[in-house]
């Protein structure tokens, strides 16, 4: 009887907690739906440039499985290659074909090479030689971990900072610390700023250790400056920190904070660049540009894989800082709602 009574109490408690009940049912459905849409997306169509290809040769090509752009000179093709408007281009000098690849994504490299080699099979056989391949970024030795690594680095930093910040802020509320602070002359923006700076110092140390371990111990590809890598990681950490504190304002305990992970964190993994967004339906791919991890992953790849500097990543940094400022403003507004905690 006592076991039966306890079981009824647990069931009654879960039923009354609409948020927990909803998360138990709808969160797995949302995640599984995203997985279905991502993995059942269209095949990637390579974007290939043709430079000074004879009309007699291009007339016999099958362009149905690629987006082909023709160029009058190699300089224009190089510009589009550097800005990732094309995945690669092929040119013929003195009858010898040469391939130039952007190179930062091994999967895209494979699809591009597969199309070029199948399309130019007759040309290759006639010259009895292997096609000369040049990489703008990366090389033939570049592995999947080098490409996915920057996204995973950003994700784990974001995930753990989000959880630690959210749970810690909930503890501040449940122990009465936040209530006592709200009763002091401190203004709400001062409280939010103090929490962000306090957690931010710990975040800076954590981010530096994780980034250094990834680069110098796991030997992940690092073509750019480690300083710019830290700048990106710290900007992402502050975004995760302010978002974690904001979300914790809508949770009554640590369990409810964990329940927000499938809604807040998981979608960012799918749309951050871990999977090619061009293979996802247009009506779904818009999610990526409204998530912080999307910009952090692109900036991390620019530095770690492509070796870019400040001029190429500053926009992503400013966007991340914009997210942080937005979340801080929302945190200040949320404190009014929870003033009587």
Q: What domains sit in the chain, N to C, each tagged with a CATH number?
A: 47-135 (3.40.190), 144-337 (no CATH)
Residue range 179-204, pLDDT digits in tens? 666 666 667 677 777 777 777 777 77
pLDDT of residue 336: 67
pTM across the whole model: 0.76
- Contact present, 189 and 332 (Cβ < 8 Å): yes
Half-sphere exposure of 52 (CA within 13 A, CB side): 13
Residue range 258-313, pLDDT digits in tens? 878 877 887 788 777 777 766 666 666 677 788 898 899 889 988 988 888 898 89
**How many of the other CB atoms lie within 10 Å of CB of 6?**
10
Q: At what angle do helices 188-216 and 144-174 cross, to 10 degrees?
A: 150
Distance separating alpha carbons of residues 90 and 166, to the nearest angstrom: 51
* Residue 266 backbone class (left: φ over 0; alpha: ψ -120 to 50; beta: rest): alpha
pLDDT of residue 249: 79
Query: Taking the mean position of all CA atoms in its chain, how far away is CA 69?
Result: 28
Give the chain's mean pLDDT.
77
Query: Over pLDDT 90: what percentage of the chain?
Result: 4
Q: Which of 61-70, 229-238, 244-253, 326-335 has the lowest mean pLDDT?
A: 61-70
pLDDT of residue 341: 40
């Amino acid at each position: 009887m006592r076991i039966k009574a306890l079981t009824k109490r647990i069931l009654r408690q879960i039923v009354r907690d609409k948020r927990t009940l909803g998360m138990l049912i709808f969160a797995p459905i949302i995640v599984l739906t995203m997985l279905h849409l991502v993995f059942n997306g269209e095949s990637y169509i390579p974007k290939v440039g043709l430079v000074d290809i004879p009309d007699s040769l291009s007339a016999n090509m099958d362009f149905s499985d690629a987006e082909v752009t023709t160029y009058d000179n190699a300089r224009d093709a190089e510009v589009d290659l550097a800005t990732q408007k094309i995945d690669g281009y092929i040119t013929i000098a003195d009858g010898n074909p040469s391939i130039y690849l952007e190179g930062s994504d091994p999967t895209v490299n494979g699809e591009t090479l597969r199309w070029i080699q199948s399309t130019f099979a007759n040309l290759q056989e006639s010259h009895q030689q292997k096609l000369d391949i040049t990489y703008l970024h990366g090389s033939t030795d570049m592995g999947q971990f080098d490409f996915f690594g920057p996204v995973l680095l950003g994700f784990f930093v974001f995930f753990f900072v989000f959880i630690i910040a959210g749970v810690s802020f909930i503890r501040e509320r449940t122990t009465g610390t936040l209530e006592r602070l709200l009763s002091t002359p401190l203004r709400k923006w001062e409280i939010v700023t103090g929490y962000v700076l306090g957690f931010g110092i710990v975040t800076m140390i954590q981010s530096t250790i994780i980034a250094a371990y990834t680069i110098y111990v796991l030997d992940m590809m690092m073509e750019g400056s480690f300083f710019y890598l830290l700048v990106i990681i710290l900007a992402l950490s502050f975004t995760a920190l302010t978002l974690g504190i904001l979300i914790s304002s809508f949770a009554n305990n640590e369990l409810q904070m964990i329940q927000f992970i499938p809604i807040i964190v998981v979608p960012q993994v799918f749309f951050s660049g871990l999977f090619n967004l061009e293979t996802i339906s247009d009506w779904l791919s818009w999610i990526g540009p409204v998530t912080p991890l999307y910009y952090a992953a692109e900036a991390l790849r620019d530095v770690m894989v492509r070796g870019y500097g400040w001029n190429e990543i500053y926009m992503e940094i400013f966007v991340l800082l914009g997210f942080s400022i937005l979340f801080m403003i929302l945190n200040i507004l949320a404190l009014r709602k929870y003033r009587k905690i």
